Amino acid sequence: MARVALSHRHYPLSVARFFRAAFERLGHEVLTIGPFEPSIPWQQDTDYSQYWDVPTIELFTAPGAASYPMERARAEGLEAWKPDALVMIDAGFHLAGGWNKVPIALVATDPHCLFGYGETAKSCNAFFVMQEHYLHRYLEGAGQAGCWPPPEWLPYCYDPQVHYWTPGVEPEYDVAFVGVLYPERERMLRALSDAGLKVLARQGVLYEEGTALYARAKVALNLSSRLDLPMRFWEGLAYRRLVFTNRVPDLALLEGQGCHPYMHYIPYESTYDESKSPAAWVIPDLDDLIAKLRLYCGDAWEEEGQRIADAGYVWVQPHTYEARAKRILESLGVK
């Protein structure tokens, strides 16, 4: 088994935390390195001490600093640990500079809102982008001298230890949504309630607490912010809930992997307007969404809604963080 170093910003909730658990379940030894953050950016006033993720090697940076010199990180204990691979899970933080003795993979977790991944990837051996719609930014020049490695789509996924079906729980709500409540999402959720649908929505709920909330509803609802297909889509399928999502480009690619609209999830229409809030450019078609929710949460639930939820649950099973972690190490030639 390998010794895998993970660099990332250590929030109470992070994609990197799921990757760490996946590498450990695969039998690898893991060291984490990066800044420590006691709260999550969109919920600063909540006490998350029970979820603190304390790094093995804590790096002290200026507030909001996006990088830390690789040479200094190596001197502060990373090199002495002698990793077989370094995986940088970059949601706004990375180690800057190469390391010719250790293969490095960069995982771009948020290409819909972070834009500097190409420069970071120049010092890496493998480059993964978690939203295919934004892969085009990094195709020109990829693989050429002085540029970054060819980028590869590494889709989001789910953690079976956290995102799981809870049998025996009867849904008491029509719709559940857990996530950042951007203004457009708040307007959408209010419109659903005004239409007579029973809605359960929370912001800042983490891990199994979110799993328990989704178990109480028929539908796991998603509204992307910038045409991204977020983790919420994959997690909703793993909850065995009926996933509703606005149409985004990556969904078409999933059809090639056997995931189809109206067979594994329900799509609804939306428009995309970059002149709106910088946080959320996607505007849901509320008439389309409400009509479909009324149908699938009402008369069509028993025969259609539950069947689609079951099919989505079956399809998503292989799409775990363990599978993604294996692919990362394969790309580096590490076993």
Percent of the chain whose pLDDT exceeds 90:
87
Please indicate, yes or no, whether residues 141 and 199 belong to a single structural domain of this protein: no
Q: What pTM did the predictor assign?
A: 0.96
* pLDDT for res 280: 58
Please indicate, yes or no, whether residues 19 and 129 belong to a single structural domain of this protein: yes
Label residue 275 by pLDDT band (50, 70, 90).
Answer: low
Residue 72 or 182, more confident = 72
**Kind of pairing, strands 270-272 and 282-284?**
antiparallel
Are the CB atoms for 221 and 199 separated by under 8 Å?
Answer: no
Q: Give the Cα separation of 293 and 291 in Å (integer).
A: 6
Examine the pLDDT at 173 and tell me if it is beyond 90: yes
Please indicate, yes or no, whether residues 46 and 140 belong to a single structural domain of this protein: yes
The lowest-confidence range among 65-74, 107-116, 184-193, 203-212 is 107-116
Q: Name residue, tokens 């889709």.
A: 155
Residue 299 burial by Cβ neighbours in a 10 Å radius (0-12, 13-18, 19+): exposed
* pLDDT for res 21: 98
For residue 166, tell me if it sits in a domain: no
Kindly state the average pLDDT of the residues 304-330: 98
Please indicate, yes or no, whether residues 15 and 112 belong to a single structural domain of this protein: yes
Q: Number of structural domains, the chain?
A: 2
Q: Per-residue pLDDT tens for 45-103?
A: 899 999 999 999 999 999 889 999 999 999 999 999 999 999 999 999 999 999 999 99
For residue 165, tell me if it sits in a domain: no
Please indicate, yes or no, whether residues 130 and 223 belong to a single structural domain of this protein: no
Please indicate, yes or no, whether residues 206 and 222 belong to a single structural domain of this protein: yes
* pLDDT for res 278: 54
Orientation of helix 183-194 relative to helix 286-297, angle to 10°: 50
Q: Per-residue pLDDT tens for 261-272?
A: 999 999 999 998
Label residue 182 by pLDDT band (50, 70, 90).
Answer: confident
* pLDDT for res 273: 74
Q: Per-residue pLDDT tens for 220-239?
A: 999 998 889 999 999 999 99
Please indicate, yes or no, whether residues 196 and 61 belong to a single structural domain of this protein: no
For residue 32, tell me if it sits in a domain: yes
Kindly state the average pLDDT of the residues 289-310: 96
Q: Give the Cα separation of 286 and 330 in Å (integer).
A: 43
Please indicate, yes or no, whether residues 185 and 42 belong to a single structural domain of this protein: no
The residue count for the chain: 335
Domain that holds residue 12: 3-157+320-332
Examine the pLDDT at 282 and tell me if it is beyond 90: no
Please indicate, yes or no, whether residues 72 and 183 belong to a single structural domain of this protein: no
User: Per residue, what are the HEC states of the chain?
Assistant: CCEEEEECCECCCCHHHHHHHHHHHCCCEEEEEECECCCCCCCCCCCCHHHCCCCCEECCCCCCCCEEEHHHHHHHHHHHHCCCEEEEEECCCEEECCCCCCCEEEEECCCCCCCCHHHHHCCCCEEEECCHHHHHHHCCCCCCCCCCCCEEECCCCECCCCCCCCCCCCCCEEEEEECCCCHHHHHHHHHHHHCCCCEEEECCCCCHHHHHHHCCEEEEEECCCCCCCCHHHHHHHHCCCEEEEECCHHHHHHHCCCCCECCCEEEECEEECCCCCCCCCEEECHHHHHHHHHHHHCCCHHHHHHHHHHHHHHHHCCCEHHHHHHHHHHHHCCC
Cα–Cα–Cα angle for 233, 14, 165, rounded to 5 degrees:
40
Q: Per-residue pLDDT tens for 122-134?
A: 999 999 999 999 9
Please indicate, yes or no, whether residues 125 and 182 belong to a single structural domain of this protein: no
Please indicate, yes or no, whether residues 80 and 117 belong to a single structural domain of this protein: yes
Examine the pLDDT at 154 and tell me if it is beyond 80: yes
Q: Give the Cα separation of 8 and 67 in Å (integer).
A: 10
Q: Per-residue pLDDT tens for 195-225?
A: 999 999 999 999 999 999 999 999 999 999 8
Query: What integer best gives the mean pLDDT of the chain?
Result: 95
Examine the pLDDT at 281 and tell me if it is beyond 80: no
CATH of the domain at 121: 3.40.50.2000
